[in-house]
């Protein structure tokens, strides 16, 4: 389902008027943060392109910036998008498109305000790049489904209330056609979360074990057996969220590298200067391409172009962080928390070069491996022939594992 238009078109002037009314009725200086966020959602100023009653006004997506600028100028609180990014960037657009009205009304408001954090139960130990080969089973039992299996690389599972989950409901069907999509309560009996310690010392990812977890059929998203189609909406939005964030010129990691260059003239060499110039130009090209992609998003759902943006983001993050470590020499090999024991995601550009270098290694895996995304771009953007797939019409139960 796409955003609907209201009876009266909503333009920038109308949004400014509504924002002023929100601020007058709920002054940020004297209103509790959560109360303000709930009022903003109710006023349709959360994500203006969503339908009325679901945090939006059916306005063009591009006009969200008008609201955000007015609220930022007034010192209004935001919903901490870094903490709830999976909900905002992946769960919300999928629930909007495939959810029932009851599901939308139940899940979207607390998702946007941050009262309920979401995670993604997709990847498995034996189904990462070949996600459609997943083995987690969901068996129908009356009005519920009983789920058993294991998921891995689940960002934020340790602090999430809800999860978007795909599981196999028909092992006799080919792997892409026997999957169903669910909304899983992470507090239900049988859900066990175990942290995975990373090379950076953090544990922002987890493995999740599902043992006899009962999910009501009312929390199924989309039709039985059509989970792969629903998951594509999630994955396309995920790649846009990872690689298509709006940043200013010389923002993000290239800005950090450029600042290092300006502040440490004693470390400069001709070779490093030439490499930095090339990376700066490529980062600017990626930024402008991202702006064009966002303009395309205004017209509808994200397409495979988001995979190209995510590819570019991962490569640049790794090359820039590598350049920075080389430029800073021994100073680039250290950071304050090599033995950090916390479990939350820390600021990426707000940390030291050594941390960025290590953390960037995951960028080419999370949100779809670069190898898989290259195939998507080749086949769905460039129109090149598909790779041979001998297992497309074979029942999942008959596939070698």
Task: Determine the Cα–Cα distance for residues 20 and 26; give it in Å rounded to an integer.
Answer: 10
3-state secondary structure of 360: helix
Distances (CA, A) of 272 to 313, 327, 354, 357, 394: 21, 7, 18, 17, 52
Which has the closest alpha carbon to 397: 166, 124, 133? Answer: 133
According to DSSP, residue 377 is labeled: I
The residues facing 141 across adjacent strands are 144
Task: Determine the Cα–Cα distance for residues 209 and 194; give it in Å rounded to an integer.
Answer: 8
Q: Residue 4 catalytic?
A: no
Strands 162-168 and 118-121: parallel
According to DSSP, residue 91 is labeled: I
Catalytic residue among 124, 204, 238, 324: 238
User: 311 is written with which tokens?
Assistant: 């590819």
Strands 179-185 and 162-168: antiparallel
DSSP string, 313-342: HHHHHHHHHHHHHHHHGGGGG--TTTT---
3-state secondary structure of 137: strand
The single residue listed with the structure tokens 């629930």 is 95
Task: Provide the annotated active-site residues.
Answer: 238
């Amino acid at each position: 389902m796409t955003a609907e238009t209201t009876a009266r078109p909503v333009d920038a002037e109308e949004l400014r008027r509504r924002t002023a009314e929100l601020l007058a009725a709920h002054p940020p200086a004297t209103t509790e943060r959560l109360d303000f966020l709930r009022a903003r959602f109710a006023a349709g100023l959360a994500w203006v392109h969503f339908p009325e009653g679901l945090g939006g006004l059916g306005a063009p997506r591009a006009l969200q910036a008008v609201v955000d600028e007015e609220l930022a100028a007034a010192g209004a609180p935001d919903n901490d998008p870094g903490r709830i990014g999976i909900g905002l960037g992946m769960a919300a657009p999928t629930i909007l498109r495939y959810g029932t009205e009851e599901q939308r009304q139940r899940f979207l408001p607390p998702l946007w305000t941050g009262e309920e954090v979401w995670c993604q139960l997709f990847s498995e130990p034996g189904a990462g790049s070949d996600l459609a080969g997943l083995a987690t089973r969901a068996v129908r039992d009356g009005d519920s489904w009983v789920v058993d299996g294991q998921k891995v690389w689940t960002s934020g599972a340790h602090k999430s209330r809800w999860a978007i989950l795909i599981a196999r409901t028909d092992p006799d069907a080919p792997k892409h056609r026997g999957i169903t999509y669910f909304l899983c309560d992470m507090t239900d009996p049988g859900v066990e979360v175990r942290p995975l310690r990373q090379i950076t010392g953090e544990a922002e990812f987890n493995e999740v074990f599902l043992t006899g977890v009962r999910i009501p059929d009312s929390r199924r998203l989309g039709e039985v057996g059509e989970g792969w189609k629903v998951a594509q909406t999630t994955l396309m939005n995920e790649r846009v969220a990872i690689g298509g964030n709006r940043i200013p010129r010389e923002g993000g990691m290239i800005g950090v590298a450029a600042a290092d260059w300006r502040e440490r003239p004693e470390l400069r060499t001709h070779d490093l200067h030439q490499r930095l110039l090339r990376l700066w130009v490529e980062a600017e090209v990626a930024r402008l391409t991202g702006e064009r992609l966002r303009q395309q998003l205004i017209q509808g759902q994200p397409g495979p172009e988001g995979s190209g943006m995510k590819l570019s983001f991962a490569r640049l993050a790794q090359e820039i962080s590598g350049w920075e470590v080389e430029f800073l020499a021994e100073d680039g090999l250290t950071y304050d928390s090599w033995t950090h024991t916390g479990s939350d995601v820390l600021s990426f550009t707000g940390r030291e070069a050594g941390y960025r270098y290590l953390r960037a290694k995951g960028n080419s895996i999370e949100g779809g491996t670069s190898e898989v995304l290259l195939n998507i771009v080749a086949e769905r953007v460039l129109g090149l022939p598909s790779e041979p797939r001998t297992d497309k019409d074979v029942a999942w139960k008959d596939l070698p594992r």
